[in-house]
Amino acid sequence: MPKKAKLPTQTATINDQTLNRGAGGELHQMASGAVPVMTTAQGGPVGDDQNSLKIGARGPTILEDFHFREKIFHFDHERIPERVVHARGYGAHGYFETYKSLAKYTRADVFQRAGEKTPAFVRFSTVAGNKGSFDLARDVRGFAVKIYTQEGNWDLVGNNIPVFFIQDAIRFPDMVHAVKQEPDRGFPQAQSAHDNFWDFISLTPESMHMIMWVMSDRAIPRSFRFMEGFGVHTFRFVNAKDESTFVKFHWKPKLGLQSVAWNEAVKINGADPDFHRRDLWDSIKSGAFPEWELQVQLFDQAFADSFDFDILDPTKIIPEEVLPPISVGRLVLNRMPDNFFAETEQVAFMTQNVPPGIDFSNDPLLQGRNFSYLDTQLKRLGGPNFTHLPINAPKCPFAHFQQDGHMAMRNPVGRANYQPNSWGDGPRESPERGFRSFADMESGQKMRIRAESFADHYSQARQFFISQTKPEQNHIAAALTFELSKVQTPVIRARVVSHLLNIDEGLAANVASGLGLKDMPSPADAAMPTRQDLAASPALSILNKGPGRFEGRKLGILLTDGFEPALVKALQKALAFEKATFEVITPAVGGAEAADGSIVLGNQMIGGGPSVLYDAVVILPSDTGGVDLAKDSTARDFVADAFAHCKFIGYNNAALPLFEKAGIVGEFDEGVILLSGPNDIPAFIKNLGKLRLWSREPNVKMK
């Protein structure tokens, strides 16, 4: 029999005010220090609340697990009508185009014909916040894709991070409860920087890999268009011969990866809480359609058996250097919904929606999601007929005997509403075309257990950290320090640092120093020691995968009356060639009058167009305008923030008084570039492809 993996000791203390219900429903005060036995809602004692019931240590989750069923069922029905998680979302229509046939690996119709375009709908979202929260929360981003294939809808319901906090779906309600608003006070909103979340994390070592990702810049993307998507779990491809190949799915943005600085994110949320929504809307409406490549990691059972970690563990990745992904298609978003509620709000994604040729692995988190999502949609959309809504309906022919129910919009026609029947009416199953599960062999005792192969919680967390560039490592340390500074319980802060010691001692020391810990805790007990032999994976770094171009980005151009029009026209022409956009910021939104008397309309006034909304800025006032801007606090913030956020700044000599008042004095670095005339534009635009000058960061202090 497999042994249980060693888990951290978890203790609970109950104070004198703890109450317990008696058999008749009456409340009894418990004795000080007594710990109640956890029960189901029916009162049955629970023996294991950490592991769902499986066949063997690595087998599938069993439907008879009534405790998991009840727990996830109640969790799925906690909110009406907005989603419990991923409530704040934004979506767009498009298509998926297949590059080449994958018939060797899968009989899924969508992968059979090169060049075929299949309709798709994508919804991006934050996880923790409510519908009215802001876009730039530090959070995981949902990346859910519905592809309307000729053999039914395929929902690849993923995130912009390839791992997750937990290994077993039975823990999902606890994880979400912990990160959401604390129930007694109803805050904080869309934030993980509070005691409940970090208490849960500090008692859940399996979360530490995910914590490295969430505390990295991956959790504050510059745009939906500049972030990756992942299927998270290991799935199966199954071909026409019923042969199986394991597969992991990756969405790679054509425009490259990009994130923002934390200080910048905070200010963007104040200036434009709909920043990501507006960016996607503007991009698609302007015809600059976002694209991602679908890449897959394909491997067989022999690779799975030889890999360092369990491929069923959703807290682990297969590094791209170990198993390079191959491109199999592209996703293009080219149309916004006609109505936000009818489409983006009512779209229903379910991991169990797969066409024939795509199948599941025994990943216990995936197994639980497959079970949970139908309950969620039933509760949120009011009944079993949510597939009648146009956004959820398949675009291929479909037929079944499902009938009636709340808001039924179509029912079977004719006498027969069942099968088999003697009337020859209605659809029949097709063993040839229908979905067939891969006939994997399963055996073992029914048990609540975590496989020993799931027990290494720190090695890949360390690998992620050492794969980051120095600026990115600094950002992770700063994020951890900030989040834990909001935790009011000192023992929780120390407990998190004890886990960090198992990841990287330098990181732990940095965070401990930032928190003012007087005594460094001992490293947390580890079920398995952290491996030191895992090589850095450059693919895990955003900065190592920078686009090297300014395409798809936005330049802010600050002008005043009397500006030189030739320089501005040359700049705008170069941006159009680069497939980048710009906005003009002026003291008043009406615009500015050039030295030749022409008028340039303003997109933003200075107070409404801070530099945090742009990827780089240019300041081109007249001599008089530069002096006036130096007196304006919002103009000073415009320049100071751009400099502090390590952005490239173009300027003319008339802007120097503003720079001085903004505190930017002395010799400028290579990211602050003088634009004396149109001939200086090409070199400036080329520099913009670097996106940020992170070498500046140690020399500035963000306010």
pLDDT of residue 566: 95
| pLDDT tens digits, one per residue of 57-72 | 999 998 878 788 878 8
Residue 33's region, left for phi above 0, alpha for psi from -120 to 50, else beta, is: left
CA 443 from centroid of its chain's CA atoms: 36
Confidence band for 79, pLDDT divided at 50, 70 and 90: low
Mean pLDDT, the chain, rounded, equals: 92
Helices 262-271, 470-485: axis angle to 10 degrees equals 60
The CATH classification number of 548-699 equals 3.40.50.880
Confidence band for 702, pLDDT divided at 50, 70 and 90: low
pLDDT of residue 64: 77
Backbone angles phi, psi at 327, to 5 degrees: -85, 130
Read out DSSP for 644-666? Answer: HTT--EEE-GGGHHHHHHTT--S
Indicate if 411 belongs to the active site.
Answer: no
Residues above pLDDT 90, as percent of the chain: 79
Q: Which is the catalytic residue, given 67, 93, 153, 159?
A: 159
Read out DSSP for 252-312? Answer: EETT---B--HHHHHHHHHH-TTHHHHHHHHHHHTT---EEEEEEEEE-HHHHHHSSS-TT
Strand partners, 157: 144
Distance CA 267, CA 264 (A): 5
Q: Which residue has the higher pLDDT, 280 or 387?
A: 280
Q: Which amino acid is at 258?
A: Q
Strand partners, 229: 251
Q: Which is the catalytic residue, given 51, 67, 86, 194?
A: 86
Burial of residue 60 (number of CB atoms within 10 Å: 0-12, 13-18, 19+): buried
| pLDDT tens digits, one per residue of 265-287 | 999 999 999 999 999 999 999 99
Residue with tokens 């107070």: 607
The CATH classification number of 53-173+218-388 equals 2.40.180.10
Contact between 447 and 53 under an 8 Å Cβ cutoff? The reply is yes
| pLDDT tens digits, one per residue of 583-596 | 999 999 999 999 99
Burial of residue 377 (number of CB atoms within 10 Å: 0-12, 13-18, 19+): buried
Say if residue 80's pLDDT is above 80. no
Confidence band for 400, pLDDT divided at 50, 70 and 90: confident
| pLDDT tens digits, one per residue of 628-679 | 999 999 999 999 999 999 999 999 999 999 999 999 988 899 999 999 999 9
| pLDDT tens digits, one per residue of 524-578 | 999 999 999 999 999 999 999 889 999 999 999 999 999 999 999 999 999 999 9
| pLDDT tens digits, one per residue of 127-177 | 999 999 999 999 999 999 999 999 999 999 999 999 999 999 999 999 999
CA 195 from centroid of its chain's CA atoms: 22
Domain residue ranges in the chain: 53-173+218-388, 548-699
Read out DSSP for 369-412? Answer: HHHHHHHHHHHHHSSTTGGGSTTTS-SS--------STT-----
Indicate if 417 belongs to the active site.
Answer: no
Distance CA 4, CA 49 (A): 14
Around Cβ 508, how many Cβ atoms within 10 Å?
Answer: 23
